């Protein structure tokens, strides 16, 4: 059966889906999945120019089960139900009825799932109502959430680490305004915080900074639970506090295929099932789901760390690679090198971007990479030492490019850049990690 599926269904990208998605938004039924679909996830850009993924009620229900299952697994692992005795704060993206297609709803998948949360969650656990969670204007929403929760018993949060750091700063400031007492850490505001559920970006890059910002509620460290999901489905969650890799969720109504990354753009790449993969190999993730996506390239790269059970690490995006100088640097390698350099320098990074050095086309010397880095509280570590650690970790085996340089940016630069460059800033808005062009780097430097 698998062989027949591969022969009949080629790999697809969003360009293959675009016209079908437009027809479905216009009310057409039975196009790629039985019946009519009225919910659409914007996976990048806006509804007018981004990728708009149709979502069936069956897929939305599977995502709800995934979220509940991850929570129950955590409860079974720890045996501690305390997080159920307080409020849960989620930071979903905004959704709205699509004016161009009446009767349909469009937005980020986190918002579409939150809209259909079970009534017991909305009535008993949800920290802020949906009218706040879906407010337009990201800054305004964060301020309102902080205002409402500064004296609340919040015990579990679900959000991207990048936006958690922004919210936490606003929360501590709001707590001082309301109480007149300073808050040095989030624990001063939410002393019973127990669980941080992370998604959207790789947790490892931000965990140390989050731990410092949160502090130690009631003298105990907060548990972190990383999840991996996208508009096309939710795929894995961290099942063991001592193991950062994530358990692949095989009950989410998704058929998984894995294409070795070095074959992805060849004429006939291998398409491996869950029973054919190996550990340590970079695979492009391909899914078929209950919304009618068939052999769809998600755009992410995963690597298996274990086969029984099947556990994965997200190694970046298929496009997250720079190879302009004949020696590839992958996003995963860049993140690992950045974390090592931060440890060596005793610094905490909040965001970074890798690009060709502005003098890369100079006639003298080898071209090189420039790292734009923003550190916590505007710290400025020894740049040469920092760059040296980056260089040692990236192993310029062929010496195809020169040693990297580091440009330290003032606090808040990347956030200001996002506000300046993006039509709207949401929970899914991320700083691109790397580029073979200077477009992002130059525009960030203009904001700095």
**360 or 82: which leads in pLDDT:** 82
Q: What is the pLDDT of residues 210-234, one digit of tens each?
A: 999 999 988 888 999 999 998 999 9
Answer with the one of 264, 284, 319 that is the final residue of a domain. Answer: 319
* Angle, CA 191 vertex, CA 189 and CA 197 arms, to 5°: 90
CATH (domain of 415) = 3.30.300
Regarding whether 398 and 291 lie in a shared domain, the answer is no
Predicted confidence band of residue 363 (pLDDT cuts 50, 70, 90): very low
Query: Are 265 and 284 a contacting pair, CB within 8 Å?
Result: no
pTM of the model: 0.78
pLDDT at 155 (0 to 100): 97
pLDDT at 163 (0 to 100): 87
SS3 content of the chain, % helix, strand, coil (to 5): 35, 25, 40
Residue-number span of the structural domain to which 152 is assigned: 1-319
Query: Are 375 and 381 a contacting pair, CB within 8 Å?
Result: yes
Predicted confidence band of residue 327 (pLDDT cuts 50, 70, 90): low
Token pair, residue 87, equals 């409020």
Predicted confidence band of residue 393 (pLDDT cuts 50, 70, 90): confident
Regarding whether 98 and 186 lie in a shared domain, the answer is yes
Regarding whether 272 and 260 lie in a shared domain, the answer is yes
Residue 34 has pLDDT above 90, yes or no: yes
pLDDT at 42 (0 to 100): 87
Predicted confidence band of residue 96 (pLDDT cuts 50, 70, 90): confident
Please count the other Cβ atoms lying within 10 Å of the Cβ belonging to residue 258. Answer: 24
pLDDT at 179 (0 to 100): 97
Alpha-carbon distance of 219 to 198, in angstroms, equals 22
Regarding whether 254 and 351 lie in a shared domain, the answer is no
* C-beta pairs of 337-341 under 8 Å, 24+ apart in sequence: 337/389, 337/390, 337/393, 337/394, 338/205, 338/371, 338/373, 338/390, 339/204, 339/205, 340/389, 340/393, 341/386, 341/387, 341/389, 341/390, 341/393
Average pLDDT over residues 152-156: 98
Average pLDDT over residues 184-198: 97
Task: Please state whether beta strands 51-55 and 39-44 pair in parallel, antiparallel, or not at all (unpaired).
Answer: antiparallel
Regarding whether 57 and 17 lie in a shared domain, the answer is yes
Token pair, residue 72, equals 């129950």
Q: Is the CA virtual torsion 79, 84, 87, 89 positive or negative?
A: positive
Regarding whether 333 and 312 lie in a shared domain, the answer is no
Cα atoms found within 13 Å of the Cα of residue 374, Cβ hemisphere only: 23
Query: Are 434 and 320 a contacting pair, CB within 8 Å?
Result: yes
State the total domains in the chain. Answer: 2
Predicted confidence band of residue 427 (pLDDT cuts 50, 70, 90): low
Predicted confidence band of residue 47 (pLDDT cuts 50, 70, 90): very low
What's the gap between Cα 54 and its chain centre?
Answer: 20
Answer with the one of 319, 338, 366 that is the final residue of a domain. Answer: 319
Residue 129 has pLDDT above 70, yes or no: yes
The mean pLDDT of the chain is 88
pLDDT at 99 (0 to 100): 85
Average pLDDT over residues 284-304: 95
Contact partners, residue 176, CB within 8 Å, separation at least 6: 182, 183
Cα atoms found within 13 Å of the Cα of residue 440, Cβ hemisphere only: 20
Cα atoms found within 13 Å of the Cα of residue 413, Cβ hemisphere only: 26
Please count the other Cβ atoms lying within 10 Å of the Cβ belonging to residue 321. Answer: 18
Regarding whether 314 and 328 lie in a shared domain, the answer is no
Regarding whether 329 and 257 lie in a shared domain, the answer is no
Average pLDDT over residues 149-167: 94
Alpha-carbon distance of 15 to 107, in angstroms, equals 19
Regarding whether 356 and 290 lie in a shared domain, the answer is no
Regarding whether 327 and 305 lie in a shared domain, the answer is no
- CA separation, residue 77 to residues 155, 221, 235, 347 (Å): 17, 16, 19, 33
pLDDT at 138 (0 to 100): 82
Answer with the one of 304, 319, 334 that is the final residue of a domain. Answer: 319
Query: Are 257 and 271 a contacting pair, CB within 8 Å?
Result: yes
* Candidate ranges 96-105, 148-157, 335-344; pick with highest mean pLDDT: 148-157
């Amino acid at each position: 059966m698998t062989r027949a599926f591969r022969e009949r269904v080629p790999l697809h990208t969003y360009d293959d889906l675009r016209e079908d998605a437009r027809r479905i938004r216009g009310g057409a039924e039975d196009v790629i999945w039985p019946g009519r679909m009225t919910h659409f996830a914007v996976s990048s850009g806006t509804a007018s120019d981004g990728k708009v993924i149709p979502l069936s009620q069956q897929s939305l229900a599977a995502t709800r089960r995934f979220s509940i299952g991850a929570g129950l697994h955590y409860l079974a692992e720890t045996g501690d139900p305390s997080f159920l005795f307080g409020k849960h704060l989620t930071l979903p993206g905004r959704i709205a009825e699509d004016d161009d297609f009446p009767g349909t709803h469009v937005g980020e998948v986190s918002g579409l799932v939150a809209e259909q949360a079970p009534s017991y969650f909305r009535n008993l656990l949800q920290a802020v109502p949906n009218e706040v969670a879906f407010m337009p204007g990201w800054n305004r929403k964060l301020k309102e959430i902080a205002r409402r929760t500064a004296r609340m018993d919040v015990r579990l949060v679900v959000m991207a680490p990048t936006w958690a750091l922004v919210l936490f700063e606003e929360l501590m400031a709001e707590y001082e305004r309301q109480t007149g007492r300073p808050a040095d850490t989030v624990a001063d505001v939410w002393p019973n915080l127990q669980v941080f559920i992370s998604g959207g970006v790789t947790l490892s890059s931000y965990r140390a900074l989050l731990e410092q910002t949160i502090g130690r509620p009631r003298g105990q460290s907060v548990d972190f639970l990383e999840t991996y999901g996208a508009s096309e489905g939710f795929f894995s969650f961290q099942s063991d506090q001592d193991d950062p890799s994530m358990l692949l969720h095989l009950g989410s109504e998704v058929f998984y295929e894995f294409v070795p990354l070095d074959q992805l753009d060849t004429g006939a790449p291998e398409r491996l099932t869950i029973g054919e993969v190996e550990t340590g190999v970079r695979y492009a993730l391909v899914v078929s789901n209950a919304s009618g996506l068939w052999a769809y390239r998600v755009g992410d790269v995963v690597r298996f760390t274990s086969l029984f059970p099947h556990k994965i690490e997200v190694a970046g995006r298929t496009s997250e690679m720079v190879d302009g100088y004949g020696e590839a640097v992958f996003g995963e390698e860049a993140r690992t090198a950045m974390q090592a350099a931060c440890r060596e320098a005793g610094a905490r990074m909040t965001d970074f971007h890798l690009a060709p050095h502005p003098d890369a086309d100079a006639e003298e010397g080898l071209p090189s990479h420039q790292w734009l880095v923003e550190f916590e509280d505007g710290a400025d570590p020894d740049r040469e030492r920092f760059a040296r650690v980056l260089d040692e970790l990236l192993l310029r085996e062929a010496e195809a490019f020169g040693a990297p340089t580091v440009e330290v940016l003032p606090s808040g630069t990347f956030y200001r850049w996002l506000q300046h460059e993006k039509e709207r800033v949401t929970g899914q808005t991320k700083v691109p990690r790397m580029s073979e062009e200077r477009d992002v780097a130059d525009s960030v430097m203009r904001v700095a």
